[in-house]
Structure 1
Amino acid sequence: MKSMTTHYNRMQSGFTLIELMIVIVIIGILVAISIPIYQNYIKKAAYTEVIVGMTAAKTAIDNCYAVKKTLTKCDTVGKIDESLPSGVTEKVLNTVTITENTAVITAIPNTYRGIKGVGTTVPETCKLSPLVGAAGSLIWNYSGVCVDKGYVR
C-alpha cells in the first residue's frame, strides 16, 4: 500500500517576518535622518524671501550713501528720502528697521506659511550691516540668527 502523503519539492517564495522588520527599521532610520534636513532646507528657502524683503532698504541706503558720502546721513528711513515698499515685505517680514548711526538693517520674519521656527515667539532676526570699503562703496555683511543657523551665508 502506498503512502497517502505526497511531498512537494518546491521552494516557498516570500519574505520572512524578520526580513520585513529589517526593511521597516531601515526606512524608519532614513526618514528620521531626512526630515530634519528637509525642514532646514525649507527654512533656507523661506529666508530667501526675507533677504529679498531687506533689499529695498539696502538699495535705498546704497543710493543715499552714493550721494551723501556718509552713513550718518543715511541711517533712518526719513533720511534716505525713500519709503520702503510694503507689498511683499509685509507678508514675509514682521518688521524692517534701520539702526540710527550705523544704518544696520534688521529684519524679523513673520511666521512663514506655517513653518515652525521662522518668525515664532522667539524671532529669528537677520541683520545686514554696511561697512565702507576701500573703494568707497558699501560692503554688506549678514549676521544674526539667520547666519548662526546657516540659513544665510
Structure 2
Amino acid sequence: MMNMNNKNQKGFTLIELMIVVAIIGILAAIALPAYQTYTQKSKFTEVVMATTAFKTAFEVSAQTGEFSALTDADAGTKGLPPAMSTATGRVASVNIADGVITATGTTEVGGYTYILTPNGITAPIQWTKTGTCVAQGVC
C-alpha cells in the first residue's frame, strides 16, 4: 500500500500561478501606455523631418543676406520653399511665415503642431521648439 505522504509532487500550485499572472498583468498595464507613446513619437518624427528643408533654406538665405528682417522670411520667397499644404504621409502641412516654421501632423499622429522659431537672421541661428507636440512629449 502506498502512503500519500511519501508521494513526490511536481508542478506549480494554483497560488503560484495566480501570482505570476498578476505580475504579468501589472507589467502589461504599465508597459502598454509607454509603448503607445513611443510608437506615436516615432511616427511624429516624419513631421519633424518635414521642417528640415525649410530650416536649411532659411539658414542659407540668412547667411547670404537675403533677409533684412524676419518679416522677409515667408514661404516661396527669397530662396525659401513654397508652403506644403497637401497632406503627404503623416504631414498635413508645413509653412514658414516671418521666419517661423510651423508643421502640422495628420490625425494619425494626433494632429499636433511642431513650431520652430529662429532667434534672428544673423549666424549662429538658434531655434526654439514649441507647439502642441511638446506638451504631449512626441517631439
Matches within 5 A, 1:75-114: 76-84=74-82, 90-99=88-97, 102-112=98-108
**d(CA) in 2 for partners of 1:97 and 1:54?**
9
Q: Aligned match of 1:60 in 27, 38, 57?
A: 57
Whether 1:151 and 2:128 are equivalent positions in the alignment is no
User: Which amino acid counterpart does residue 131 of structure 1 have in structure 2?
Assistant: N
Higher gyration radius (CA): 1
Aligned positions, number: 134
Extract unaligned runs of 5+ from structure 2. Answer: none
Extract unaligned runs of 5+ from structure 1. Answer: 113-117
* Equivalent position SS for 2:138: coil
Tell me the C-alpha RMSD between the 2 structures: 2.3
User: Which amino acid counterpart does residue 35 of structure 1 have in structure 2?
Assistant: L
CA offsets, 1:10-55, max 9 Å, x none?
2211112121111101000000000111111112212222111111
**Contact map agreement 2:93 2:103 (CA 8 A) in 1:** yes
- Point out which structure has higher relative CO (alpha carbons under 8 A, 6+ apart): 2
TM-score under structure 1 length normalisation: 0.76
Moved more, 22-31 or 40-49: 40-49
* Cα shift at 1:77: 1.2
